[in-house]
Amino acid sequence: MDTPISEKAIFFREENNPLFAMLYGPDEDSAASRETDGVRRGVVICDSLFEEKFWCERVFTNLGRHLAAKGFRVLVFDYFGYGNSSGSSIDVAVSTLEQDVDDACDLLVDSGVNRLTLLGIRWGAALACRAASRRNDVDSIFLINPIAKWQTEFMKTLRANVAGQYAIFRKAVLTREGIIKELTSGGDCVRSGYRMNNIDGYFFSRDFYEQLQDVSLPIDIPDRVKSLTIFTIPAKKTAAPPPEDKLAAAFRSAGVDCDSITLNEDNAFWLNNLIFTSVTPHLYREITGRLEMLAGNGAAAAGVQSKEFSAVGSFTRDGIQETAVSFISQDGHRLYGVLYLPDGREAKDLAFVFSHGGLIGMNGAFRFHTRAARRLAAAGYPSFCFDPHGMGRAHGTFENKDRTHLFREINHGILSDDVGTAISFLNDKIGSKKAVLFGVCGGAITNIISHSRFDSIHASIQLSIPVMLPRLSHEEMRMSSEYARFYLGMYLRKIFNPGAWWRFITFKSDYTMIFKSLQVALGGFFRRLGMKKASSAGKAATHAPREKGDESVSPDANAGARKIQEGQRGERSQYQGGEAGVFQPYLQGEGVKFNDAFIDAYRRIIARGDQIVFIFGENDNFKWEFNNEFIAKFPKDVKAGKDLIRIEEIKHANHMYTLHEWQDDIIKYCLTWAENVTLARGVAAKTS
């Protein structure tokens, strides 16, 4: 029978590079804490690295709660330079990661645990094994799809960096080998202002690269580790035995009791794949069963030497106070967040709330939210990142589901109630401020719907906002003709690259994207050709707008995003906003179509006289959709908002702003905007 649980959002090691963690365990008042023969077991999660780490977050949150209900204590933490922990990725090395794991283990021991199980996934698998070899309180290890050789996987992962260079430079300016050579010889790896030593936007240092070369599996595991289990969750169906079987055999040859188990879950959840994965039931069942068998097996660890680490709810660093908080949603779910406040000085009148994009946690893709919140708070603007229900560390449930279905629901405001609750919580904590929403993609559409519903929101900054509903079928891909030409252009620039040809003929290229781009680009060419012929024959060839608007405003649909010129304040509508206009999620129709919730929300905000900033990456497909489907087809609405909206473009940037340089451009823009904007309803969007 499951027992009531307790959970805490904490910072530990607060005097020296603080780390964020969620600590799960049986409720202190419960008698069901799992203790047998003096053994009180805890589990420490050694997470993956780079963006894989964030795709694991929801699964491990639910695993922590699941195991706590069975009587175990579980610590799920963020490494230094990751998530809500302090630091930057450039300061991460293998040695710092190992210290983080040791300190996490010590914290759990300090909480009353005397026997540890380490669970390591992907990059974290080797960290778990290396910690087990150092410590005398670890007696069991679980590994999930472990990376056996960090050097090999690192170079494989770095390939995406080179591919991304074509979007910026129209060619590859540094090969993988070139990046490593320059880095290890003391160079800065900078080209035209871009730091090339990054994976998924996470910088890696010379120390990190040099140290990872010694990280591999198997390693010597001491006799005190009685059990090692390797779980394989296949990323795709294959008849071949998984590579993890060879690793398990190598461990067994070294005298380690090692099991190898393949589990068929909905998704290899550390990948940005087709299924939003909240739980992995087969993995949970296997881990729980094995922990229960271990619970009373053997004597308690003796002589555990643990440092004195305290756990706190906040820390102050670099002039910012960072506080882990929780609050209750309108539906009764406990939500978690981190509040960033300027330390030792009065906060400014604007407060930024970072809205969740769905699928990933409060830190935002590529840690964008956390980086922006810290910079804004350092400049005096209170900032708040949080997880809505069913996401990240929050309570509430989204079942495993096709991500296009979930994204449809997000496009119709399923998370907007939680944004309103977050604003109310923030105002209660720091006093009434003028709230500004900030969000990317799904966070942006959540923002605009929330902004239209709640009077407490005064402005919103929408990055990469979708105006179209996604298809519900993966057989059809969403792509504008402009993006198709951009994508094909990147491939054409590789025409003399032998490596690119080798990937193409060995079936490693993304054929779906290539052929879809060809189809869309050629279709657009023939449509334009037909329109020209029709025009020369005196026939109307343009598409009718979705509404009857002012035809004197007809922006070029194929132009890039542009600023709406500042003008005089227009007459304000009688509509005053308020809490009305609840949008119910629905899944109607299979194909891509315009999202009516977007235009409804936009009109409410403009009628209220509030300001909106739209930001797009230069190479974002959603930019062209925004121009084609909103700017060109709703001229009357565009004209009505010309004094209240701004549209900005970030040079070279992609849809999710992977690189720090793109993020920094946006953060600088937000700081300038905040410093100069006047947020009085009905006042034109004038900034210097």
Give per-residue pLDDT as tens, 222-241. 999 999 999 999 988 887 88
pLDDT, tens only, 607-617: 999 999 999 99
Mean pLDDT on 82-91: 97
Q: Which region, left, alpha or beta, applies to residue 341 given φ > 0 means left and ψ of -120 to 50 means alpha?
A: beta
Res. 496: pLDDT tops 70: no
Q: Which pLDDT value is given to residue 210?
A: 98
Res. 505: pLDDT tops 90: no
Give the CA dihedral 564, 569, 573, 577, nearest 10 degrees.
70
Q: Would you say 591 and 474 are in contact if contact means Cβ atoms under 8 Å apart?
A: no
CA-based nearest residue to 99, from 63, 135, 52, 48: 135
**190 vs 622: CA distance, rounded Å:** 29
Q: Would you say 546 and 633 are in contact if contact means Cβ atoms under 8 Å apart?
A: yes
Mean pLDDT on 280-293: 96
Mean pLDDT on 633-639: 97
Mean pLDDT on 198-225: 96
pLDDT, tens only, 146-198: 999 999 999 999 999 998 898 899 889 999 999 999 999 999 999 999 999 99
Q: Which pLDDT value is given to residue 492?
A: 66
Long-range contacts of 563-568 (CB under 8 A, 24+ apart): 563/646, 563/647, 563/648, 564/638, 564/641, 564/642, 564/645, 564/646, 564/647, 564/685, 565/642, 566/643, 566/684, 566/685, 566/686, 567/642, 567/643, 567/684, 568/643, 568/684
From residue 44, how far is each of 117, 386, 652 by CA, in Å? Answer: 7, 24, 40
CA atoms within 13 A on the CB side of 323: 16
Question: In the beta sheet, which residues pair with residue 36?
Answer: 39
Give Cα 84 distance to the centre of its chain: 12
Query: In the 8-state DSSP scheme, what is residue 470?
Result: P
Rg (CA), the chain: 26
Q: Which pLDDT value is given to residue 555?
A: 36
CA-based nearest residue to 234, from 247, 222, 243: 243
**262 vs 121: CA distance, rounded Å:** 14
Q: Could you tell me where the DSSP H helices lie in 629-659?
A: 635-640
Q: Which pLDDT value is given to residue 558?
A: 33
Question: In the beta sheet, which residues pair with residue 436?
Answer: 352, 459
Fold of domain 5-149+215-297 = Rossmann fold (3.40.50)
HEC assignment per residue over 480-547: CHHHHHHHHHHHHCCCCCHHHHHHHHCCCCCHHHHHHHHHHHHHHHHHHHHHHHHHHCCCCCCCCCCC
Q: Which pLDDT value is given to residue 231?
A: 98
Question: In the beta sheet, which residues pair with residue 384?
Answer: 339, 353
Report the percentage of the chain scoring pLDDT > 90: 67
pLDDT band at 472 (very low <50, low <70, confident <90, very high): confident
Res. 415: pLDDT tops 60: yes
Q: Would you say 436 and 352 are in contact if contact means Cβ atoms under 8 Å apart?
A: yes
Q: Which pLDDT value is given to residue 322?
A: 97
Q: Which pLDDT value is given to residue 170?
A: 84
Query: Please, what is the average pLDDT of the chain?
Result: 84
Q: Which pLDDT value is given to residue 589?
A: 46
In CATH, 314-472+554-676 is 3.40.50.1820: yes
Determine the 3-state secondary structure of 343 from DSSP. coil
Mean pLDDT on 361-374: 96
**79 vs 484: CA distance, rounded Å:** 38
Report the percentage of the chain scoring pLDDT > 70: 77
pLDDT, tens only, 561-572: 333 333 322 222
Res. 533: pLDDT tops 70: no
**Exposure of 472 by Cβ count < 10 A (0-12 exposed, 13-18 middle, 19+ buried)?**
middle
Q: Which pLDDT value is given to residue 593?
A: 86
Q: Give me the helix-helix angle, 442-453 and 403-411, nearest 10°.
A: 30
**487 vs 166: CA distance, rounded Å:** 10
- The residue written with tokens 């729980």 in the block is 288
Res. 206: pLDDT tops 70: yes
pTM: 0.84
User: Taking every pair of C-alpha atoms in the chain, what is the biggest distance, in angstroms?
Assistant: 91
Res. 556: pLDDT tops 70: no
Domain locations along the chain:
5-149+215-297, 156-208, 314-472+554-676, 481-536
CA-based nearest residue to 227, from 169, 180, 297: 297
Res. 218: pLDDT tops 60: yes
Q: Which pLDDT value is given to residue 39?
A: 64
Other C-beta atoms lying within 10 Å of the C-beta of residue 349? 14
Q: Would you say 28 and 105 are in contact if contact means Cβ atoms under 8 Å apart?
A: no
- Same-fold call for 5-149+215-297 versus 314-472+554-676: yes
pLDDT band at 35 (very low <50, low <70, confident <90, very high): low
Mean pLDDT on 44-68: 97
Res. 631: pLDDT tops 50: yes
pLDDT band at 543 (very low <50, low <70, confident <90, very high): very low
Q: Which pLDDT value is given to residue 308?
A: 46
pLDDT, tens only, 118-146: 999 999 999 999 999 999 999 999 999 99
**403 vs 472: CA distance, rounded Å:** 9
CA-based nearest residue to 189, from 202, 203, 210, 201: 203
**51 vs 61: CA distance, rounded Å:** 17
pLDDT, tens only, 346-359: 899 999 999 988 87
Q: Would you say 669 and 438 are in contact if contact means Cβ atoms under 8 Å apart?
A: no
Q: Would you say 460 and 372 are in contact if contact means Cβ atoms under 8 Å apart?
A: no
Q: What angle do CA 107, 109, 115 make, to 5 degrees?
A: 140
